[in-house]
Each structure stands twice: as structure tokens, then as C-alpha cells.
Amino acid sequence: MNLIVAVDRNWAIGKDNKLLVSIPDDMKFFRETTSGKVVVMGRKTLESFPNGKPLKNRVNIVLTRDNNYQVKDAIVVHSKEELNAELTKYNNDDIFIIGGESIYRMMLDECDRAFVTYVDYAYDADTYFPNLDDNSKWKLAEESEEQTYYDIEFYFRTYTQAR
Ligand SMILES: NC(=O)c1ccc[n+]([C@@H]2O[C@H](COP(=O)([O-])OP(=O)(O)OC[C@H]3O[C@@H](n4cnc5c(N)ncnc54)[C@H](OP(=O)(O)O)[C@@H]3O)[C@@H](O)[C@H]2O)c1
């Protein structure tokens, strides 16, 4: 199982149910990496998308504890157990955890690979991803050259977890 996330220098990921920054090349990387795959998200992350709609060309799985919650073109599950039962239907390498904080924390230990866009700036934030550089189970496997978008510097990193 994979996860994909954009973090800042403090491993912050969001503020007021929005992303901290929108970088076109990172959006492109996200789209290309997850297209045709299975994306798993919390209800708040789904609602942060344009018009609160699921992502096109992907199987969307949304977690909520609300039994009446329904979304067109998405599979809704209500617990980690229900999620794991649903995920048995797919190839493990095709599954991407896409946030937010609560879902990343819940699924981190089950993931083998993390695609982390590391943005070298400290934003004002209210949601965070666990710092993988401080986690002995995770190793930085690959890092791109420095990328830039106007004055923003960022890197595409891949971390792996030995399990
Ligand atoms: N930088 C990035 O790459 C990135 C990626 C994704 C999201 N984000 C940001 O992350 C922030 C949102 O994160 P968040 O932690 O507040 O929200 P979230 O994880 O997207 O969604 C939280 C919701 O998921 C449901 N949920 C969580 N655990 C569950 C469980 N075990 N069983 C059933 N349902 C469960 C609950 O929905 P109900 O309340 O409906 O029960 C909960 O309120 C936003 O700012 C967003 O922009 C950043």
C-alpha cells in the first residue's frame, strides 16, 4: 500500500480544510501517480475538493462514521475494519492513501511506500503528517533535484518502510 502527501518544512499538510500551497507540477505528479488507481480519503479531504466531488479516473473510497453519508461515484466505508475488507478487492500496489491527517495516521503502519512532496517553507497550519525523518521504521529511498515554482523550493521524495 502507498501513501501520497505534500508536506512543508514542519510536516504540516493543511489549514482550514485546505492545502497549504498549490504547485502545478505537484498536482500533475499526484494526478499521474494516482490515475487508474484506488484512492482512500477522509470525509473532510473529499469535501475539500472542487465541488466536494470524487477524483476522476480513480476508484474513490471515503471514510466517514456517518451511516447516512452518500457520495455519487465513491465507495463509502465507516471504519478501518470496513476499509480493510474493501481493500482486499484491489492489488495492494494500486492503493494510495491520500489523506487527511486522521487517515494518514490510521494507515501509516500499513503502507510500504510514501510519496512525499517536501516543500521547503514553514506555513501557518492546523494539520500535520508524522515526520518520517524522525521515524526509524521509514527510510528516505529517493529524492529529486531541487524543483522550483516562483520562489518556492520543493523536492519529490520517496520513503520506504521495511516491514
Ligand atoms: N498536503 C496534503 O497532501 C494533503 C492531503 C490530503 C488532505 N490534506 C489536508 O488535510 C486536512 C484534512 O485532514 P483531517 O484529518 O482534518 O480530515 P480527514 O482525515 O480528511 O477526514 C476526517 C474525517 O474522516 C472520517 N474518519 C476518520 N477516521 C475514521 C474512521 N476510523 N472510521 C470512519 N471514518 C473516519 C471522519 O468523518 P466524519 O466526521 O464524517 O465521521 C473524520 O471527521 C485538510 O486541510 C486537507 O487540505 C492535505
Ligand 1 environment, Cβ below 6 A: 5-6, 13-14, 17-19, 41-45, 48, 63-66, 78-80, 98-103, 106, 127
Q: Which three cell numbers stand for residue 112?
A: 510500504
Chain centroid to Cα 113, Å, comes to 11
CATH label of the domain that carries residue 50: 3.40.430.10
DSSP 3-state assignment of 8? Answer: coil
**What number is the average pLDDT over the span 125-142?**
98
Residue having the nearest C-alpha atom to atom 13 of ligand 1 = 100
How large a percentage of the chain has pLDDT more than 90?
A: 99
Q: What is the phi/psi pair of residue 5, to 5°?
A: -155, 150
Mean pLDDT along residues 1-28? 98
Residue 58 to residue 39: CA distance in whole angstroms: 7
Whether 5 has a pLDDT exceeding 80, the answer reads yes
Mean of the pLDDT values across residues 122-145? 98
For 24, the domain range is 2-161
Minimum CA distance residue for ligand 1 atom 40: 64
- Residues 98-120 have pLDDT tens digits of 999 999 999 999 999 999 999 99
Helix (H, G, I), strand (E, B) or coil at 99: coil
Confidence of residue 20 (pLDDT cuts 50, 70, 90): very high
pLDDT on residue 88: 98
Q: Which helix (H) or strand (E) holds 40?
A: strand 38-42
* Contacting residues for 72 by C-beta, under 8 A, at least 6 apart: 53, 54
> What is the average per-residue pLDDT within 72-85?
98
Q: Kindly state the average pLDDT of the residues 135-163.
A: 96
Check pLDDT > 90 for residue 162: no
The protein residue with its alpha carbon nearest to ligand 1, atom 22, reads 42
The number of distinct structural domains making up the chain is 1
- The atom number, within ligand 1, closest to the CA of 63 reads 34
Whole-structure pTM over 0.95, yes or no?
yes
